[in-house]
Structure 1
């Protein structure tokens, strides 16, 4: 049963890319803000699954089964998820750097990414502090939801939105990396399946909201300034990972 749930999680991740079909207008069309509520179905289902799993004995049993199946008899942990979580959104800047232009310029896409990161990070932090779910390895009580997975899926949706008009395969690749990040969190015994599924939903939803409200934020806070430069980089100090970016106007 748990294998079916995991396959469904991967399927929904790819389906999210194929089913959106330009649900959110770009900043280039900021005067015509549109949002298709059907695009909320998949992230809402993912979040709902995790929330139900907080109290459902059946889903808790699936969590345990998934943990056992992933770990098996191998005690070796792979920390690739500490870095792969950033790959999807960094790909947007890398593609632009080599001349493959996406939907928005540096300023607009960075505002969108920053907004999505704030929404995602705030949501994850609040839920971790309020739910206090113990991690599979017992290291802390901040298991629900998975911040790594939320970051990865936030980036995957960001990559998709920026490059869906160039090729849908950019988005599919981003979502595959994000799904792999989530599965590594389970393998490394840092999160339960419900943590990962919820993190995926939060990440996707955060980026959708960021694009939705971007025209309002740009108009109210950043105005119309064209002379904008900046840099976005992840950091890792041996103990913790994070995201940092700076922008000059």
Structure 2
């Protein structure tokens, strides 16, 4: 059952990538900057994730499936692995790491930082509001803030960020983020912190908010971060204090 769960999440994640019109190459080459244009087809996969999560709030059938998945995944657990506390940020960190080693992505440092900061801001707000309004108890009964999974939302937001920045440089760079994000979602269930519906909702929110960040970036660039008038340096610092997640953005405008 553990293997089937991982394969299911990964399959749906990869399908999200193929729902976009992309150019794939295994060679590492610099690419021209190109804005991501709105495409309603890109809404299908994240919407499916979120619909599953929302329906699961009231559906007795999905609640029962949640319980079965939890029992299968968490049985005979002796030790919990807190790798998900760190893996949620790994795809986003990889973007900056690849740039540091000279592998250029779609956007420069300032632009990608603004996009990531926008994504984290939207995602963090959405997750926080839903946690406070739904008040669903965690599987381990440690609190009433289970829905949706913030770790999973962060991981999939980061994975979509890596995908958008590097899908045209190398398909394998892009897909690696979704592998890590799927693992993060699995470990949230394995560590008895979330139900499958929490993870599905978090995945949908994460993917969608990053897509939105790319779609609105041209407007932000033209009306807020006018490159003709200002030279701006930006740095994004994501944080998680055990209860809340978010991102701080530092701007230096000359």
CA change 1:97–1:147 in 2 (3 A) is: same
How far residue 73 of structure 1 moved from its aligned partner, in angstroms, is 1.2
Aligned counterpart, 2:94: 91
CA distance in 2, matches of 1:27, 1:132: 45
CA change 1:6–1:91 in 2 (3 A) is: closer
Q: Any idea what SS the aligned residue of 1:9 has?
A: helix
CA shift digits 1:155-207 (9 cap, x unpaired): 00000000111011111100000000000000011100000011000000001
Segments of 5+ residues of structure 1 without an aligned counterpart are: none
Aligned counterpart, 2:62: 59
2:121 equivalent to 1:123: no
CA shift digits 1:27-47 (9 cap, x unpaired): 9455xx731101110000000
CA change 1:27–1:120 in 2 (3 A) is: farther
In the alignment, is the contact (CA less than 8 A) between 1:3 and 1:66 conserved in 2?
no
In the alignment, is the contact (CA less than 8 A) between 1:2 and 1:63 conserved in 2?
no
Segments of 5+ residues of structure 2 without an aligned counterpart are: 24-30
Q: What's the RMSD between the two structures over aligned residues? A: 2.4
Q: Any idea what SS the aligned residue of 1:54 has?
A: helix
CA change 1:208–1:221 in 2 (3 A) is: same
CA change 1:141–1:27 in 2 (3 A) is: farther
Aligned counterpart, 1:21: 21
- Give the TM-score taking structure 2 as reference length: 0.89
CA distance in 1, matches of 2:55, 2:175: 28
In the alignment, is the contact (CA less than 8 A) between 1:85 and 1:148 conserved in 2?
yes
Aligned counterpart, 2:106: 103
- Give the TM-score taking structure 1 as reference length: 0.90
Q: How many residues align?
A: 245
**Pairing of 1:1-249 with structure 2 (within 5 A):** 7-22=7-22, 28-29=33-34, 34-224=37-227, 225=229, 227-235=231-239, 243-249=247-253
